[in-house]
Structure 1
C-alpha cells in the first residue's frame, strides 16, 4: 500500500460525512428509462434529486442546485435544449457539471452533442464506460482509432482487464489532463483519474450490467458525491459505494435464489446502508 493510497482511504470517512451533511441538490437531466432509479440512488447516498427539464424554469433550478448531471441516454430536441440552457447557467454559477455521454461513438448526433458540451462548458467530471471514454479520446484527438460500442454497452474488445489496465490508465489520464476534468471509466475494473492521480477500482459484480440503469444511477451518485465534496474524492466514494452495494446485493440474491429484479432493489438498499467502514475495509483499489 502506497502513501497515496493510505491518504485516499483516510479521507473517505470525512468525505462521506460531508456528502450526507450537504444533502446536495442534484439536478439531473437524465433519460426517461432510468429517471426513477436515478432519483432513488441519489436519495440513497444522501443527496436530494431534482429532475427538471422545462426550459422556462431551468435557469432558476440550476441557480440553486449544488450540482448538474447531464445524461444523454434518451435524447429529444427539448432535452438537448434543456442541457444547453442548464450547462450555460452552470458555467455562470460555477455549478459542477457531470456528463454521462451514453452511446457516444455510436451516432453522429451523440458525438456532436457530447463534444459541444465538452468544448463549450466547464465539465467537472465525465462518467462513462470505456468504449464511450475511448470515443471521446478519438474525437478529442488523443486516440487515433476507437471501437464502436454495442449500443449503450461497452465493446467487448475494450473491456478493462488486469492485462490492459496500465495502458488504459495512461490513455484516460492523458484525456483527463487535456480536457481538465475528472474521468471515471466503468467496467469490470474501473479507472478514475484527474490526470495527476489515477486509481483502479476492482470492486463490483457482473450482475450490475444486467439491470437497466446501473450506469445512469452511478453518474447521478457521482453528482451527489461531488456536490458534497470534491471531484476526485467524491467520484471515488460514488464508485466504491455503488460497487460494494452491488457485491452485497449479489450475495443476497444468491442466498435467496433470486434474480435481477431483486438485485436492483437490493442494490439501492445497500447503497442506502453505505458506511465509511465498509468503503475502507472492502475496497480493492490500486494507484496506477
Structure 2
C-alpha cells in the first residue's frame, strides 16, 4: 500500500510562499496555441511571465530572467534560432532552463531540435509525457524501448498505470541520470526523478486532458518554481499545484453542472488560491524506493 511522503509534502508546500515573495521573472518561449493560459497560470502562482520569442531580444531577456522555459508545441522556423540562443545563454548565465519537448519522436524536426537543445544546455528539468521521454531515451541511445506518440498525445501503450508505474519510473530515472537532469513525466500519474530519487504524484483527473494547454501551463509553472528552489523540488511542487488545482476545478465544475470551458477558468482560480495548507491537505505524493 502506498504511503504519503508527509515530510516531503510539508517541505515542498512552503515553496509557494517563497515564490510569491520573490516574484521572479520567467521568460517563456511557448506554444502559441496556449500562450495566454501559460502567462495566466504563472501570474496566478505569483511569478511574472514574459512571453518573448523575438530573436533580436532573446539574449537580453534571458540575461534578466530568473528562469527560462522552452516549449516545442509549435516549432515555427522563426522560433528555432531563438530557442537555441536562449539555451546557450541560459547555460552561460546559469539560468534554470525547463524544456518541454512536445511530440518529440514524431518528426525529424522535433527530434533534431530536442537533441540540439539538450546538448547545448543540459536543461534543469525536462517535462513531457511518457512517449516523449521514451523517445528522448532512444535519441540518446540510453534505452531501446520503442515508442510512438499519437501526435502530441501519449501512446496508449505508454499510459502510466499501477501495473507499470515502477517499471516506467526506473526507466525514467535511468534517462534522467544519464542526461544529468530532472525529468517530470505527466500523465494519469506523474513520475518525477533526478536519477537518484523517484517520486510519484497521484493527483489529477481526466478533465485536464480535455482542454488545451494543461501540460504547457505545468511546464511554465515549473519554470516559476525553478527560480526559487532546486529542480527536483520545483518539479514536485509544480506538479502538486497543477494537479490539485485540477482536482478542485473539476469538483466545482461537476457541482455546478458545467463543462470544460468553466473548468479552464476554475483551474486558474485554484492556482491563484493555492497555498501550503491546500497542498498538505490534498497531496498524494509517494516516494518509490
TM-score under structure 1 normalisation? Answer: 0.97
Flag the 1:160–1:2 CA change in 2: closer, same or farther, 3 A: closer
1:113 aligned residue: 113
Specify the SS of the correspondent of 2:188. coil
Distance 2:8 2:136 in 1: 28
1:261 aligned residue: 261
Distance 2:2 2:262 in 1: 38
Flag the 1:253–1:6 CA change in 2: closer, same or farther, 3 A: closer
1:78 aligned residue: 78
1:59–1:85: 8 Å Cα contact kept in structure 2? yes
RMSD over aligned Cα, in angstroms?
1.5
Using the TM superposition, name which of 139-148 and 154-163 deviates more: 139-148
1:29–1:71: 8 Å Cα contact kept in structure 2? yes
Specify the SS of the correspondent of 2:55. coil
1:108-155 per-position Cα deviation (integer Å, ceiling 9, x unaligned): 110000011111213100000111011111111122132211110000
2:243 aligned residue: 243
The answer to whether structure 1 residue 274 and structure 2 residue 274 are counterparts is: yes
Q: Which runs of 4+ in 1 moved over 6 A?
A: 1-4
Distance 1:14 1:239 in 2: 14
2:165 aligned residue: 165
1:106–1:149: 8 Å Cα contact kept in structure 2? yes
2:4–2:286: 8 Å Cα contact kept in structure 1? no
Written as runs of structure 1 = structure 2, the 5 A alignment for 1:112-261 is 112-261=112-261
Aligned pair count? Answer: 288
Shift of 1:6: 3.7
Specify the SS of the correspondent of 1:209. helix
Specify the SS of the correspondent of 1:126. strand
2:4–2:285: 8 Å Cα contact kept in structure 1? no
1:101–1:128: 8 Å Cα contact kept in structure 2? yes
1:36-77 per-position Cα deviation (integer Å, ceiling 9, x unaligned): 000000001111000111111111111000001000100111
1:196-235 per-position Cα deviation (integer Å, ceiling 9, x unaligned): 1100110001100100001000000010011122211111
1:213-266 per-position Cα deviation (integer Å, ceiling 9, x unaligned): 010000000100111222111111100010000000101110111111111000
1:131–1:146: 8 Å Cα contact kept in structure 2? no
1:9 aligned residue: 9
TM-score under structure 2 normalisation? Answer: 0.97
2:102 aligned residue: 102
The answer to whether structure 1 residue 22 and structure 2 residue 43 are counterparts is: no
Specify the SS of the correspondent of 2:79. helix
Shift of 1:5: 2.7
